Structure 1
């Protein structure tokens, strides 16, 4: 048996011997093997444990078994030095797949090449690659590999992965269900991994029990006994690596030096001391070679070997091997454990460490980013030249979508900047990049450091704006609003532009929270900020977002001018679109969004404030597939960045569409998810949207008492709207449920109170909804004028679902008055609209009413779409437009295999056998006729 064993009784290093004993980890090994070998197991498993608990050795066992069974293994190993380099981990994973990357669809291939700094230089409008495109490319690659053989992705020491790689890998990981792909990860206790913290099963490596610990000691070449064994067991605390290394130290020639005394030192310090003690007496050439190896990262190593800086086959390594510090396989040389590397590096004199980094920097002149970090590590103090190198590194990282890497580089550049003012500027720049990671704590740390270094008003204001930009997207609405408003008030005169930026964010928070006192505070501060022609658009934004129905006519009249001014700035078009949506100018909002996306293919890496308006506008306009696509994107971006509020906003929109489409289970799950992610008292807008969706689900199921209960919760006890914008569109739905469960009087009180609150500021859409609600709640003989008023304005055609509902209400009333001939036209129009939208519960209701009106409702084959789930129908429609499985997957954030599976299950339901039949199926004159 080899004298060097790890905590599993297996040989230390990446490839344990197959015949080595295995101690105390059989259950964990079995769990990992089941994950790899069983298609029904969790596709992603996180192995969690402290240093020396045996994570890497467990993975090595699993890898060996997987490779023996014919699986393709892709792997990456995290290192602290590479965590600053954008996409470095992903490059490790995909390095063996260059041919497969070349075969990706153009957009995905370009995104990957751009992220890795290879391929053609992208056009200016695409300077920042879409992170979801990169994640989709990873998913496509893994899915394609899985078509040929099982795939195992091994991600060791993931706590040291760069953020950009984690985002791409977590995107793929969330979609591995049903794929022959397993992802196994390791991380330390308490480590936060962006994108992997939720819904990923964690297998925690606990300390070995006393029996297992003793068995492991028995297997050592010189098994300790007596007091020494007792002392080792007590100090190791069940940590396998500690047991092995303490036993080794206790039996060394100088046992007193090798075994630390009992004390409060952390276990990692004990182990580092053990490894550091083994450096004593090593030849100088060996010590220097070890330090070079410790100072470099995995990509530096081959360069150092090829340049002769590091001779892995030289005699210098033999003493290090004999001391149990490194393991050498051919030209591959590795430390036996990360703690060995740490010990070697930190025990070296500062001057020696500087020399090692300078030698590596000299070697890496053609790799400026790695060179910059080595130069920074060699800096004993401020250095303007190195600070500038790191700033250039940040620019390159940002251009490749590596915002976390850019922020880290700028933060280190700030530490090295000789001038405090330059340091403050770099910290503000770092905060602007860190915003896109979603890590508010980090952004606030950077802005606080900037404030400590400067009194320059413009920099202080910029720091406040950067922190506020991200804070708006979090759940801390009350705290964030106070901070934004207080800072805006303080800067109102001295820095009016920054103050207005902060107030714009405060207005968004006001929308989310729905708190009326915040609106009054915003108005007061806005009055203190001097007016300027260049800020007119931003002032309008603040007023519209915080109170769209106060002066609606004035705001609507400004929209054409704002659209004209924004035509050359696609990102500004979305701002105008959001304002148009808030004002119930939905057609204009959709036109603005369409124009923006046509000219701005690559969207931002974070959801913008009120970004949910895009999806809501598409819902209202009857473009439900596009609404769901927008929701899918926001949910993915929000989950990746850890922004629960953004996820909740999109989930409520998706839930309402699913409810209208008749997928009650999925709709309820989405709405419930949104409610669990937010505090309903802090985020009234999301709570209202979720209740609207749950009310729609219950109504579709005929549970009108439940529907009324849900919808009643979006109005206060005395009938006022809980939210100044989100509550009003539910008035007609409330009336429908009230009539069917005997709550007519209560609902009438609410409708009339809301009508009085809006007075003359109601939009045509809201006037129609109020008229519809009044018609439903009125005595039958008084209902007709209200029901017809709900359909009177031609502009209401732009809200097709709401118009179809009003048409059905009128038709039902007419039929009950025995005016059947009059009822047939609105019935026919309503049914056609519901069919076009795929609103299945409403289709059934309209068909029943049509039959009761004596109409002959004939269904043709295409009505088989009703048998599909909403997602299957969405995929079918995209396939009918000629999109490939990969293109559909890219659009809906699914793997090509998942798309193929949906199509395979859908074809029999549609009565077709080939993809070519889809276009004719969906282009049929009618999916059912009414005669």
Structure 2
């Protein structure tokens, strides 16, 4: 790999010789060495610090350590200009391994090549599949030798690459891959901030700073030394460069004057002063290199810059401005690049950019940015070039790059209306980055440039689409409702879009006053046939129990109208789930996903409904797959609320499967991400998951405490939709910890509130709760009512719980023969689902009823972790390790490791035995309707 030079301030001399001493960083260097020697528990480590603190120097030493140990090193270095080019860092990282990219499975290879601009034109790559492709590639490289991934100046990596690499970083546990990241302190690094351990480089202490100066060829002394120490402030690069300047001048007068200048300004002046003595030919190539600012040597050569061996570079190297290593010429530090660029006149910079644009005709995106940089005034042609660049970026999934290009195109557009249009398009692209502040900035700029009602409405819709997914529910709801009200007459379609978003916020927040506001705004909007679907959405989301029967009658026609529109099918599925029509919801989701490979760019509003529907239907593997995708996308986009929503569903599945500790961790993570008064839905889901985890461990007092929080002090539901499904579990826990009377009041209050609008599912749950809470002589009719409707088979876990409750009641009434049938049914369902705690409870009850419950083969699955169960079920369906990895967002190596550990527990030795072992139990669960 090429040598990188970034932040080398702590190295004694100009060359990154691994034998050189690094002063004052012993602990940090030891920490990096532990990481590359694979003795660290953390596969990812971020090195953060200000400019000149020595990040690149430390990374360089870590690279040499890794290479000496036989590791394969892949590197990418961020740069300001490259940050606007989608997947440029990923392209740089993977350039040395084209054969490995070609060897990836077809779907992964196609997605990765499309992201890198090398594949056939498609609507855009699946961004999650891009991440899986990179993970598979790195894991495959690790089959032969350890792999070290080094990302330097990561604050300048393009957003699309960061999203893919942060996806990979969270899945490196157990892989022979280490990722080291160098980034500026204080800079936001999407996808990495909360989940990666950080090693912070501060200033050198006085002893270390003195020692570093002592080791210089001409160590400064006296007043000069004091001034250097004072001005450098412990920054290693500043110490070296100020000492070098003082040595060259042989006087303290050569140092920058003390004063308010930032340290970076001092250093830039030092570097800029060295330009004065250089030949004109050297100054010209330095400016070209500074204007291009690409760390990729192949790009530099294609841009027509002289090769590293050219004599034009020698004076710059002797002046300490550049470093030549092999085929590469690099600035010694980003501040050198900045000094070279800003020391040139505006005319010279414009000439450099035009020259580069001419040289880069085969690189249209880079060419467009250079043309833009050469424009001192609005320019329609340059604006159009950038608009085309944005189109290419969007097709490759580079939404941040597209938004940046469109924003700059708007600045260059001569006409205000064109500028406003481009800004709205930029906002639409920026929505997919999750950066709400950026979207709002773009929307505000568009509003300042136009009075066009259509554009303004579009701008409001774009801002609202992302705002819905943030945690600021109260503020966002007010803004969406206000904007919808203003647009009700002039732009009713846009107004209805905003109300639809407001309804989603109402669901998340659970605030009842918002329902009344939605109804008021909806009445002001004219009713049109074309708006029927969206109006139904608003009604179903904001109040699914208001005239539920009429809403259900509308679903079949909405599903028919949506047949060719997967995104509309998904909306129909969400509405069906809200109305407790889970079978119809799952059918809609299945059909939508058959027609539409999700792009994963942004979680849609109420996307958690997909996972909940699969969970309720008994398809727990698919529920967890949906959660994994939403969590991955939400984290990459910085959308904490989307992550929290998915985490609560995942926590619930884990609790049902018996992994109580993991369930608690997921639920508590979700609670940390939200304000319970702003996000009542997530609060309730998290408490339900924590209650289920406690039940799984037999801690019924704890379970009751968690589930009691799903209802207010006076027994009303905390959330108008999410609280009701907890009624039966609340009753079950109450009976076991002596809270029967309080639970009765809550159940009856909810039953009265729902009245005739309760779904068959909720009626069954209320009947089960009443059976549990009733006097023993009065319980049977309630249990029978809870099982009476055949449609309840579509909620298998809830049905099995009721069957078990009935069987326990029958056995305690000494009706043992009658208890055996429901016990057998319940045990079969629990086994099929992999609900380990309930399997054990049903087996114990079955033995007490005289049933032979010798462990069947599928029961061995209960000894596996939930993730291992998922992998086993998919392997039993014939999926390869790579295919399983794509579904579960794991590397093939991780899948293989889980299978290896699972086979002995299952009593098998070959993959071919899986299907026979669990056919009729696990496979049936995966396909049951």
| TM-score, normalization by structure 1 | 0.97
Deviation at 1:299, TM superposition (A): 6.9
Tell me how far apart the structure 1 counterparts of residues 7 and 705 of structure 2 sit (CA, whole Å): 64
1:553-604: per-residue Cα shift (whole Å, max 9, x none)?
1000000000000001011100000000000000000000000000002344
Q: Is the 8 A contact 1:5 1:12 kept in 2?
A: no
User: Which of 815, 827, 838 is residue 831 of structure 1 equivalent to?
Assistant: 827
Deviates more, 1:379-388 or 1:851-860: 851-860
Q: Is the 8 A contact 1:804 1:829 kept in 2?
A: yes
Cα distance 1:774–1:307, how it changes in 2: closer, same or farther (>3 A)?
closer
**Count of aligned residue pairs for this structure pair:** 919
**1:451-466 correspondence runs (5 A):** 451-466=447-462
User: Paired residue for 2:676?
Assistant: 680
The question of 1:550 aligning with 2:546 is answered: yes
Question: Aligned-pair RMSD on alpha carbons?
Answer: 1.7
User: Paired residue for 1:28?
Assistant: 28
The question of 1:661 aligning with 2:657 is answered: yes
**SS across alignment from 2:216:** coil
1:588-621: per-residue Cα shift (whole Å, max 9, x none)?
0000000000000234411110000001101111
User: Paired residue for 1:491?
Assistant: 487
Tell me how far apart the structure 2 counterparts of residues 847 and 783 of structure 1 sit (CA, whole Å): 23
Tell me how far apart the structure 1 counterparts of residues 552 and 567 of structure 2 sit (CA, whole Å): 20
The question of 1:283 aligning with 2:285 is answered: no
Cα distance 1:752–1:105, how it changes in 2: closer, same or farther (>3 A)?
same
User: Paired residue for 1:751?
Assistant: 747
Cα distance 1:881–1:319, how it changes in 2: closer, same or farther (>3 A)?
same
Deviation at 1:776, TM superposition (A): 1.1
Tell me how far apart the structure 2 counterparts of residues 265 and 386 of structure 1 sit (CA, whole Å): 36
User: Which of 212, 217, 223 is residue 221 of structure 1 equivalent to?
Assistant: 217
**1:545-584 correspondence runs (5 A):** 545-584=541-580
Deviation at 1:202, TM superposition (A): 0.9
1:484-525: per-residue Cα shift (whole Å, max 9, x none)?
111111111111111111110100000001000000000001
Cα distance 1:514–1:306, how it changes in 2: closer, same or farther (>3 A)?
closer
Deviation at 1:21, TM superposition (A): 3.3
1:208-262: per-residue Cα shift (whole Å, max 9, x none)?
1111111111122221111111011000000011011111111224857741000
The question of 1:798 aligning with 2:794 is answered: yes
The question of 1:480 aligning with 2:480 is answered: no
Deviation at 1:430, TM superposition (A): 0.4
User: Paired residue for 1:651?
Assistant: 647
User: Paired residue for 1:814?
Assistant: 810
Deviation at 1:177, TM superposition (A): 1.3
The question of 1:404 aligning with 2:400 is answered: yes
1:685-722: per-residue Cα shift (whole Å, max 9, x none)?
01101111111111122111111111110111111101
Deviation at 1:6, TM superposition (A): 5.2
Tell me how far apart the structure 2 counterparts of residues 186 and 300 of structure 1 sit (CA, whole Å): 18
Q: Is the 8 A contact 1:493 1:529 kept in 2?
A: yes
User: Paired residue for 2:711?
Assistant: 715
User: Paired residue for 1:8?
Assistant: 10
Tell me how far apart the structure 2 counterparts of residues 314 and 178 of structure 1 sit (CA, whole Å): 46
1:253-277: per-residue Cα shift (whole Å, max 9, x none)?
4857741000111100100000001
User: Which of 243, 247, 254 is residue 247 of structure 1 equivalent to?
Assistant: 243
User: Paired residue for 1:42?
Assistant: 42
1:884-931: per-residue Cα shift (whole Å, max 9, x none)?
11111111011111111111111110111111111111126899xxxx
Q: Is the 8 A contact 2:12 2:216 kept in 1?
A: no
Q: Is the 8 A contact 2:92 2:296 kept in 1?
A: no
Q: Is the 8 A contact 1:504 1:538 kept in 2?
A: yes
The question of 1:52 aligning with 2:52 is answered: yes
Tell me how far apart the structure 1 counterparts of residues 215 and 40 of structure 2 sit (CA, whole Å): 37
User: Paired residue for 1:113?
Assistant: 113
**1:201-350 correspondence runs (5 A):** 201-253=197-249, 258-298=254-294, 302=298, 305=301, 308-350=304-346
Q: Is the 8 A contact 2:127 2:600 kept in 1?
A: no
Tell me how far apart the structure 2 counterparts of residues 255 and 442 of structure 1 sit (CA, whole Å): 48
**1:431-442 correspondence runs (5 A):** 431-442=427-438
User: Paired residue for 2:375?
Assistant: 379
1:452-509: per-residue Cα shift (whole Å, max 9, x none)?
1111111111111111100100111111111111111111111111111111010000
User: Which of 122, 141, 161 is residue 157 of structure 2 equivalent to?
Assistant: 161
Tell me how far apart the structure 1 counterparts of residues 847 and 7 of structure 2 sit (CA, whole Å): 79
Cα distance 1:213–1:519, how it changes in 2: closer, same or farther (>3 A)?
same
Cα distance 1:693–1:426, how it changes in 2: closer, same or farther (>3 A)?
same
The question of 1:772 aligning with 2:772 is answered: no
Q: Is the 8 A contact 1:34 1:41 kept in 2?
A: no
Deviation at 1:310, TM superposition (A): 2.9
Tell me how far apart the structure 2 counterparts of residues 644 and 6 of structure 1 sit (CA, whole Å): 36
Tell me how far apart the structure 2 counterparts of residues 75 and 726 of structure 1 sit (CA, whole Å): 47
1:329-379: per-residue Cα shift (whole Å, max 9, x none)?
344211111111110001100010011110110111121111000000100
Tell me how far apart the structure 2 counterparts of residues 894 and 447 of structure 1 sit (CA, whole Å): 38
Tell me how far apart the structure 1 counterparts of residues 327 and 890 of structure 2 sit (CA, whole Å): 41
User: Which of 504, 508, 515 is residue 511 of structure 2 equivalent to?
Assistant: 515
**1:693-712 correspondence runs (5 A):** 693-712=689-708
1:728-764: per-residue Cα shift (whole Å, max 9, x none)?
0111111101111111111111111111111111111
User: Which of 839, 843, 846 is residue 842 of structure 2 equivalent to?
Assistant: 846
Q: Is the 8 A contact 1:7 1:216 kept in 2?
A: no
User: Paired residue for 2:90?
Assistant: 90
Q: Is the 8 A contact 2:302 2:360 kept in 1?
A: no
Cα distance 1:414–1:850, how it changes in 2: closer, same or farther (>3 A)?
same
Deviates more, 1:394-403 or 1:304-313: 304-313
Residue segments in structure 1 that go unaligned for 5+ positions in a row:
none
Tell me how far apart the structure 2 counterparts of residues 610 and 734 of structure 1 sit (CA, whole Å): 25
Tell me how far apart the structure 1 counterparts of residues 699 and 311 of structure 2 sit (CA, whole Å): 81
Cα distance 1:696–1:410, how it changes in 2: closer, same or farther (>3 A)?
same
Tell me how far apart the structure 1 counterparts of residues 734 and 922 of structure 2 sit (CA, whole Å): 34
Tell me how far apart the structure 1 counterparts of residues 11 and 784 of structure 2 sit (CA, whole Å): 82
User: Paired residue for 1:913?
Assistant: 909
Cα distance 1:229–1:488, how it changes in 2: closer, same or farther (>3 A)?
same
User: Which of 406, 418, 426 is residue 422 of structure 1 equivalent to?
Assistant: 418
User: Paired residue for 2:138?
Assistant: 142
Cα distance 1:121–1:709, how it changes in 2: closer, same or farther (>3 A)?
same
Q: Is the 8 A contact 1:394 1:410 kept in 2?
A: yes
Deviates more, 1:547-556 or 1:192-201: 192-201
